[in-house]
Structure 1
Amino acid sequence: MADPRAEPLARLAARLRAAGSVFAEEEAAILAGAAADDEELESLVLRRIAGEPIEPLVGWVRFGALRLSIGPGVFVPRQRSVRLARLAVRRVRAHDAAVAGRPPVMLEAYCGVAPLAATVAASVAAVMVHAADADPAALAYARRNLPATAGVHLSDGLDGLPAELAGRIHVIAAVPPYVPESELALMPREAREFEPSAALVGGGRDGLDQVRRLVADAPVWMTDGGSVLVELHAAQLAPAAAEARSAGWRCRIHRPSDARTGVLELIAG
């Protein structure tokens, strides 16, 4: 028996494809599943065709194995950051095995909706996760995505963290804003028009001002041997590492040969 939904979904996918969607069939199914009725579906389709990211429209984003809450006006986690999340899990597990008596502490700085902290919380049983961001709207979604025991902090960089975390954090993971302002116009329209520029533009001619803040501010919060994991564009990894080494950090660069981004790991102590 033919599926009665097939023809309407095919027509919807054709509209989305004509508007430039690369994954038209998948998006058609997602929008149809999110709409309560035909009127709401048409509204969602028109907004998607106008360029709004699909994830805030439907209220969720897939990140690795997780389905996270999200909404309009906040940064949408990128699938490439799953590599960073998995590295954070490995580093937290290593500390979990090495530290007896109390759980390791992990912080996601510049957290947005907290995909990294949520991945760590879902992957490591004994961990205390924290998330920090300067955007209250993003933090509202982070609270939904994290366990009730997690710490969620309104914080400009690391400046708003509670004092009791000083010297106790084993892993900081972050996707800080790192796009040079001169390159913002080159970003996809979805990002330029529907995500906050503060979550994209890193400051300075090279986009690394927020990374420099982490390099300068993180030591007081870290345990000896702790790691700061920062996702950056591939071209930024070497210069950022050079600056971090000058500031006394040991550094590793993690970058798949075919990736446009990589992770700079700063090791404390």
Structure 2
Amino acid sequence: MPTRPGLLDRVEQYAAAAPLPDARLVAAGPLDVPIGSPAWPYPARPRPGARSVSAADVRAAVALQEDAGLPAAVEWVEERTPSLGAAARAAGLVVTEFPLLVVDDPVELLLPAGVRLYLVGAEDPRLPHYQHLLETAFTPQAEGARDGRTPAEDARTAVLRERVLTGRTVLMVAVEDGQPVAVGSHHPVDVGDCEVSEVVGVASSPRRRGRGVGAALASALVAQARETADLVFLTAGDDDVARVYERVGFAQVGTTGVADRLPSPD
């Protein structure tokens, strides 16, 4: 496990800075609630240094989000704000914990033969498709042809194009036989006098899994991020996924807490 001091502090500072270009922060007790476009929502988070959060604070944050048409969501570093999980449950949210990892000893993994890696530009005509694969993690429905797009999807794509254009999102795709087989991104943010980036949404096609494509793409994202970033981190979906990231040089340093509402039944 990495022993550099201040890693979790820098993750918290990143999370506090990331919404600032897109949203205004509204206080709900010790929680900061970013109020911005529903096309690119940010969760409420405890203010850096806050240690105690109550159920009333969480309910106030959720009320602000729902009044703004945003999803109810709170995230935190468990080791920094251990009271938040119980507070979120008492406020009626569902709490899940995920491994939090940082790049410790990066490993370069090669893509399988025949797979090529591309940086996606803001004007790439397939960017909406890549975004859909990012959001749906290559479900069978996502990989097939789709008829039409919703206004919400168009709005999210417009935000993503702007983020890619300005360098706030770096999007990569691995392609084989002309078709995407893996996608992923990282989001650099200036934190004080350094840059920190979060790797987000690495996913690979179920038909290509077991060949190391996703791990190789994650390795390439880390290498690209580290050209300018002092710290690269991510939240893994579960312990099995965390072990995949450990293959490319990540190490677990903590736990990310996530609280939201159960999806409504269809």
Question: Is this a same-fold pair by TM over 0.5?
Answer: no
Give the TM bin, normalised by the shorter chain: under 0.3
Structure with the bigger RCO (C-alpha within 8 Å, sep 6+) is 2
Larger Rg over CA atoms: 1
What is the TM-score when the length of structure 1 is the normalising length?
0.27
What is the TM-score when the length of structure 2 is the normalising length?
0.28
Structure with a larger share of its residues in helix: 1
Structure with a larger share of its residues in strand: 2
